[in-house]
Amino acid sequence: MKIAELRRTLRTKTSAELQEELLKRLKEQFSLRLKRSATGNLRQVHLFKQTRRQIALIKTLITEKQAAE
């Protein structure tokens, strides 16, 4: 999913849903790290950057929603 599409879909979610999405992405990031450390390499290294940016976006949206309340 492109970052612009993700941004649009996340903006419609509530704070609780954003927290769930954040946990999902953090687990995904952890899984990627385990795969890399277990095998010594990972073919899809772009997923690290993509996941990291998605986490940052979700954290930003959570902060914005908290400030608006």
Sign of the alpha-carbon dihedral angle for 24, 19, 54, 29 = negative
For the segment 44-55, the average pLDDT, to the nearest whole number, is: 93
**Cβ contacts of 11 within 8 Å, gap of 6 or more:** 61
Residue pLDDT, tens place only, 22-31: 999 999 999 9
**CB neighbour class for 25 (10 Å; exposed up to 12, middle 13-18, buried from 19):** buried
Q: Output the CATH code of domain 3-68.
A: 1.10.287
Domain ranges of the chain: 3-68
Statement: the pTM of the whole predicted model exceeds 0.85: yes
Residue pLDDT, tens place only, 6-22: 889 999 999 999 999 99
What single-letter DSSP state applies at residue 43?
Answer: S
